[in-house]
Amino acid sequence: MKAQFHLALPCLSISRTKTFYTESLGATIGRSAQNWIDINLFENQITFTKSGPFHFDYKSYSFNGDILPSFHFGVILNNDQWTQVLQTLKSKHIKSLTEVQFLQDKTGAHASFFVKDPNDYTVEFKCFNNNQDVFKY
């Protein structure tokens, strides 16, 4: 079943959030108002609502020896899209960029990179070696 997702998150600054997602990640803007904005991130809707300071208390976890945040979201891209976004971010010297290879030589092998947005959310971009392995064990 293919479907788009919708995610609603609090944010600190609509303008900084808009700039990051459009200028750094290449997203487009949907509907918006003074205190909220819809971001079209690869045909998925993220609604950011200005809320002022907030805090998510979450622990990290270890996977393949890498420490990952338990709270993060992201998209799965094909190799061309993944490489293009990664190169764009590198050219803009975006901070908090981490590249990781997961499950090498196993079912579900994929490359990921993680970047922090202006609200301190971790956004993950995945590219599977074989797209049929996204949900396989």
Task: Reply yes or no on domain 6-52+60-133 having CATH 3.40.50.1000.
Answer: no
Examine the pLDDT at 65 and tell me if it is beyond 80.
no
Average pLDDT (82-111) is 86
pTM for this entry: 0.86
In three-state secondary structure terms, 91 is helix
Residue type, 62: S
Residue 44: beta bridge partners?
Answer: 41
Residue 76: beta bridge partners?
Answer: 126
The Cα–Cα gap between 43 and 53 comes to 28
Pairing type for strands 6-11 and 28-33 reads unpaired
Domain boundaries, the chain: 6-52+60-133
14 near 51, Cβ under 8 Å?
A: no
Q: What is the structure's pLDDT at 102?
A: 81
Q: What is the structure's pLDDT at 6?
A: 94
